[in-house]
Structure 1
């Protein structure tokens, strides 16, 4: 009976790890922040859900001992990295050249999560096509397993849920903070933000592609 009771330390550790995973600035984070600035709280939440879902899927594979996933990523890393790099460059260029659209509820209507649901698969795709993030999350999960006892499937599922919850708490807090102050941003400032975010995304993607080309040239 006791084997079905999960380790209670898993929850706080998973929450902290989830926040730490979501906090560093990376390509997906840049896109999520841009969405929150342009579209408000629910825009940021929608983008965050895609990122969190991708991280949760990777963590679940790591927790269930699906080592073949890690092996596949390592074997086909170059292809995955090029695909992810091209996607980042495309997203970045599209964002850079698109006209700024600051969505404010000036007409009395209120935005909902369903209004921005298309952002979820976009950030999900960018998350799972980043081989560095995938392998890094496998390593992080392995480190957690040595720090906190994770034996049963229930422990694994609880840890994945805690990590996802921690990441989601980060995006809720950040989107709420941005939503409180975004009304001070005008279209000119948003255009600058979009261009900076677009350039960062394109640079991230170009670096991924360049790394593959450079490694290929060494062999």
Structure 2
């Protein structure tokens, strides 16, 4: 039992390490938490955490057939992920600046979960980095330990998104329309550059 708890907490730490670097999902969670409130930001993070758990499970259980399929189809994943990033970037850049609503409307939460999952699942860098971390630092001994590790990774990733989205929501009342405008511009530029780089990497591979 103590060994299982140690593996679980190792997974929690890995989950935070995987989720914490600021990337497309982090930017989306920040923007959605500001514009649509905490539930939408958390829903986006939940989708990312589900993808983290799925791919870490593949790595932990050593399902090489699935890893080979992902690796062999990496260019396609890059094209799909790059196009998705460009679409989100255009939306951010063309969105009209307006004051934040006093009571934000969450909108379509299942769609927010799907977008977080989809964006994470089509990011080759995230997939390969996650696999390397799990294989390199997991060191488990069987299916029970592997499952415990994956569960810890999911919890750790989710805890990071709760921390990030809750922090942004607490600051929400101090954010002006001008700040939202620059957040949208910055998000659009960064996501656009990431999308163009991802798409270019696939086309000129």
The reply to whether TM is greater than 0.5 is: yes
2:75–2:202: 8 Å Cα contact kept in structure 1? yes
- TM value normalised by structure 2: 0.91
Q: In the alignment, which residue of structure 1 is the partner of 2:180?
A: 190
Q: In the alignment, which residue of structure 1 is the partner of 2:88?
A: 91
Q: In the alignment, which residue of structure 2 is the partner of 1:58?
A: 55
Within the candidate set 111, 120, 141, 1:118 is matched to: 111
Q: Greater shift after overlay, 65-74 or 48-57?
A: 65-74
Q: In the alignment, which residue of structure 1 is the partner of 2:165?
A: 175
Within the candidate set 120, 124, 139, 1:127 is matched to: 120
Distance 2:109 2:138 in 1: 36
2:138–2:149: 8 Å Cα contact kept in structure 1? no
1:6–1:154: 8 Å Cα contact kept in structure 2? no
Q: Secondary structure at the match of 1:9?
A: helix
Q: In the alignment, which residue of structure 2 is the partner of 1:204?
A: 194
Residue 188 of structure 1, CA deviation: 2.4
Greater gyration radius: 1
1:80–1:131: 8 Å Cα contact kept in structure 2? yes
Distance 1:127 1:52 in 2: 9
Q: In the alignment, which residue of structure 2 is the partner of 1:28?
A: 25
List runs of 5+ in structure 2 lacking aligned partners: none
1:84–1:129: 8 Å Cα contact kept in structure 2? yes
Q: In the alignment, which residue of structure 1 is the partner of 2:144?
A: 154
List runs of 5+ in structure 1 lacking aligned partners: none
- TM value normalised by structure 1: 0.85
Moved >6 Å (runs of 4+): none
Residue 187 of structure 1, CA deviation: 2.0
Q: CA RMSD in A?
A: 2.0
Q: Does 1:48 align with 2:48?
A: no
Distance 1:56 1:86 in 2: 24
Residue 57 of structure 1, CA deviation: 0.8
Q: In the alignment, which residue of structure 2 is the partner of 1:145?
A: 138
Residue 116 of structure 1, CA deviation: 3.0
Distance 1:145 1:103 in 2: 44
Q: Deviations over 1:75-102 (max 9, x none)?
A: 1111111111011111111122123463
Alignment coverage as a number of residue pairs: 204
Q: In the alignment, which residue of structure 1 is the partner of 2:102?
A: 104
2:59–2:131: 8 Å Cα contact kept in structure 1? yes
